[in-house]
Amino acid sequence: MTKKLLIDTDPGCDDAVAIAAAVAHADLELVGLSTVAGNTTLENTTRNTLAILELLDRTEVPVARGCDRPFCRDLVHAEEVHGPGGIRGDMPEPTAEVIDDHGVSFIVEQARAHGDDLTIAAVGPWTNLAAAMHLEPDLPDMVADIYLMGGAAMTGGNVTPEAEFNVYVDPEAASHVVQYARPKMGGLDVTNRSKVAPELIEDYARRGVPFETIAAWFGYEDTDAIRERGIDDPPSVHDAAVVIDIVDDIFEYETYPVEVNTGHGPSRGATICDTRGAPGEEPNVDVAVDVDLERFQTTLAETLENL
């Protein structure tokens, strides 16, 4: 049965792979994309989203521009990882434009329109999702599932020793989401291991449009460099793993009480996962604790062949 999917995103190379997988998988219907500031500015993430859809010849998918900054913080971006403007590869000039709806309103409207046929995947900072839940408090009960890419429940962070990027960017939004959404959280515990084979990246780099650009997304590197040097140890494609889990159950989940540290200093954005089973602590998040890497790699490669 086809699942209706809305992706809230901040492209970003791994976001781009996630979007490609979503439009290519036969069991997913991508009903829309909302953009958020994160890996780069909102202007760039929105332009990148439109360019990704242009590249994949899916410009009919609606794109709604969302929040341009975290709730209470200055924006921290990751262009040093994803490239100038937030994405690698030879990207086309977008011909489509964003819809009139704000990204937060768009999330709520899609939830009301599709109800429990809809799955939401938030793979950037969770600002839009938290704001949508303020606008429509019943949103988590209206939809089938809410998936998150973010957090580091039982492992170290990738921004600080404790914090994962999406949570670190907007810990106040993340705190609200984990408290009230009862989400499935695919954090660094599993996505750090979600890499594709070097041979696939090197093959894509020689295959032409759109695969040579996807190779750049996989490698977080220019395609020419991949052709010349190859890839020894590919980076993780965090966001794509969450999309593949939605259709192929590649993650193993355990349910725990989870909180987010909204303070300042070295613990900002830490995902606090209580594995002790302490009395009085109610489990509120399905935490991904393991990933079937072989199935992830196989399903993602097979899916992208549909492009």
77 is catalytic: no
**201 inside domain:** no
**147 inside domain:** yes
**175 inside domain:** yes
Question: How far is Cα of residue 178 from the mean position of the Cα atoms in its chain?
Answer: 16
Could you tell me which of 108, 86, 75, 91 has the C-alpha nearest to residue 10? 86
**Pairing between β-strand 145-149 and β-strand 184-186 as defined by DSSP bridges:** parallel
Choosing from 25, 77, 82, 238, the catalytic residue is 238
CATH number of the domain bearing residue 24: 3.90.245.10
Determine the structural domain holding residue 120 and report its residue range.
3-195+236-304
Check residue 280 and give its pLDDT: 79
- First vs last C-alpha separation in the chain: 20
Count Cβ neighbours within 10 Å for each residue of 193-217 and write b for 16 or more, e otherwise: ebbbebebbbebbeeeebbbbbbbb
DSSP secondary structure letters along the chain: -PEEEEEEE---HHHHHHHHHHHH-TTEEEEEEEE-SSSS-HHHHHHHHHHHHHHTT-TTS-EEE--SS-SSS-----HHHH-GGG--S-PPPP-----SS-HHHHHHHHHHHHGGGEEEEE-S-SHHHHHHHHH-TTHHHHSSEEEEE---SSS--SSSSSB-HHHHH-HHHHHHHHHHS--EEE-HHHHTT----HHHHHHHTTS-TTHHHHHHHHHTS-HHHHHHH--SSPPP-HHHHHHHHHHH--EEEEEE-EEE--SSSTTTTBEEE--S--TT----EEEEEEE-HHHHHHHHHHHHTT-
Check residue 278 and give its pLDDT: 76
**58 inside domain:** yes
**213 inside domain:** no
**128 inside domain:** yes
Could you tell me which of 89, 305, 26 has the C-alpha nearest to residue 218? 89
Q: How many structural domains is the chain composed of?
A: 1
Sequence-distant (6+) residues with CB within 8 A of 74 are: none
Cis peptide, bond prior to residue 198, ω within 30 of zero: no
Check residue 236 and give its pLDDT: 98
Spell out, as residue ranges, where the chain has pLDDT lower than 50: none
Question: Contact 287/253 with Cβ under 8 angstroms?
Answer: yes
Q: Tokens at residue 263, please?
A: 């303070």
Q: Tokens at residue 213, please?
A: 């650009």
Can you tell me the distance from the alpha carbon of 57 to that of 144, in angstroms, rounded to the nearest whole number? 28
**97 inside domain:** yes
∠ CA 25-140-158 to the nearest 5 degrees? 65
